[in-house]
Chain A
Amino acid sequence: MYVTPGYAEEAAPAEGEVHTEVGVEHDAGHAKGVFPPFDGTTFASQLLWLAITFGLFYLFLKNVVLPRIGNILEVRRDRIAQDLDQAALLKSEADAAIAAYEQELAEARSKANAIGQQARDSAKADADAARKAVEAGLESKLGEAEERIASIKAAAMREVGAIAEDTATAIVQQLVGGKPDKASIAAAVKAAGE
């Protein structure tokens, strides 16, 4: 109420007379000098239409729009949670696969070690066996050789007596003449040999 006349006075010199007159006329005609927001005659209509429009708006939002938006948000939240769950699941699967892989790797490594060890052991055993066989062969050949040497030595020793007898007989024949007694020569050789 106070604003209107105050402004009208201020605006009047700037605007010129025609406008001011129109303003006054208008004020007087329409609102009867009452500031529109405080004009009680319009209250009933405003209240009625506010009740109708706001009521319908409330019902529309409550029954249609808000459940829909809430549903959209819920679906998205579920979807995100589901995706996160799936990601966690995949991650745990990946972890399990890595663990299995590492276990198999460790097993393979230990198996490889075992195989290596076994191969080394068997090779060693083979080598030992071969060495033993060779050694045994050599041993037996050595024994044989020694035996032969012994037999040859014995044979030689035996032949040495016969040769000495023959030699002695020949020497006696040459020196003494005649045929010496075979038995006595043998005894002599024997005595000389001892």
Chain B
Amino acid sequence: MANDPIHQFQISKWIPIEIGGLDLSFTNSSAFMVATVAAAGAFLFLTTSTRGLIPGRLQSVSEMSYEFVASMLRDAAGSHGMKFFPFVFSLFMFVLVANLLGLFPYFFTVTSHIIVTFALALLVIGTVVVYGFMKHGFGFLKLFVPHGVPGILVPLVVLIEVISFLSRPISLSVRLFANMLAGHITLKVFAGFVTSLSALGAVGVAGSILPLIMTVAITALEFLVAFLQAYVFAVLTCMYLNDALHPGH
């Protein structure tokens, strides 16, 4: 069990709840969602509570994350896009903190479950579609007809555009999910090599140095991936929101 790399993704019920035949239990996944939200919310809230004119280190971190997401959104979607800022910022912080929390040993990684990432991706695409139709009516469909395409090619291009639009929630969610999953499995496998090799005696202990180094290196890589995937998720969200704001290419 200790060496099973899949065990870390196991969901265990903490408080069983069942309503109308649906299993809505409070699980370890739920607990880490709460932890993610509480950690991110508390950090942002407490570090800015002094409202320092000259920020301390922690306040700087909050301000930097604010300005980082704000400039990302402004660059991708223009100043009109700023109405989605709370949404994009929440997504970025949620994914980032969930990814980072998952890096602690024995912690559950919320974003390593496809249903969570898919739900977030659907939320993004749903926002894009609903806002696009609200703002532009059927003009939103211009999104699928790029300018300057010869008449003959239009059906083909529209087909490609529709397929690419529909694949967005899938690529958005699978990218995050697969990165988290694969990273954690790799980490666990290499860490498992260390323990199983050490059990073989002196030669094994010497041989386990290599996987140990790999484990350390992959941990560092996973920190990068945790941030990068949150960033990619947020950037793509910004770009999709830009389509909702400005459907004409």
Among A3, A16, A53, contact of B6 (Cβ-Cβ < 8 Å): A3
B-side contacts of A26, CB under 8 Å: 1, 4, 7
Report how far A23 CA is from B188 CA in the complex, Å.
Answer: 14
B167 within 8 A of partner (CB): no
Q: Report whether B4 and A76 are in contact in the complex, using a CB–CB cutoff of 8 Å.
A: no
A residues whose Cβ falls under 8 Å from a Cβ of B: 3-4, 7-8, 11, 14-16, 19, 22-23, 26-27, 30-31, 35-39, 41-51, 53-54, 56-58, 60-62, 64-66, 68-73, 75-76, 79
Q: Report whether B93 and A36 are in contact in the complex, using a CB–CB cutoff of 8 Å.
A: no
B33 within 8 A of partner (CB): yes
Q: Report whether B86 and A66 are in contact in the complex, using a CB–CB cutoff of 8 Å.
A: yes
A-side contacts of B59, CB under 8 Å: 72
B residues whose Cβ falls under 8 Å from a Cβ of A: 1-7, 9-12, 17, 22-27, 29-30, 33-34, 36-37, 40-41, 44-45, 48, 51-53, 55, 59, 62-63, 66-67, 85-87, 89-90, 93-94, 110, 112-116, 119-120, 177, 181, 185, 189, 192-193, 196-197, 199-200
Please list the 7 inter-chain residue pairs (A to B) with the smallest Cβ-Cβ separation, ordered nearest first. A49-B30, A62-B86, A36-B9, A53-B33, A14-B196, A57-B37, A58-B90
How many A-B Cβ pairs are below 8 Å?
Answer: 159
Report how far A42 CA is from B177 CA in the complex, Å.
Answer: 16
Q: Report whether B48 and A69 are in contact in the complex, using a CB–CB cutoff of 8 Å.
A: yes
B-side contacts of A27, CB under 8 Å: 4, 6
Report how far A65 CA is from B68 CA in the complex, Å.
Answer: 15
Report how far A71 CA is from B62 CA in the complex, Å.
Answer: 13
A23/B3 contact (C-beta < 8 A), A46-B113, A54-B90, A65-B41 known: yes
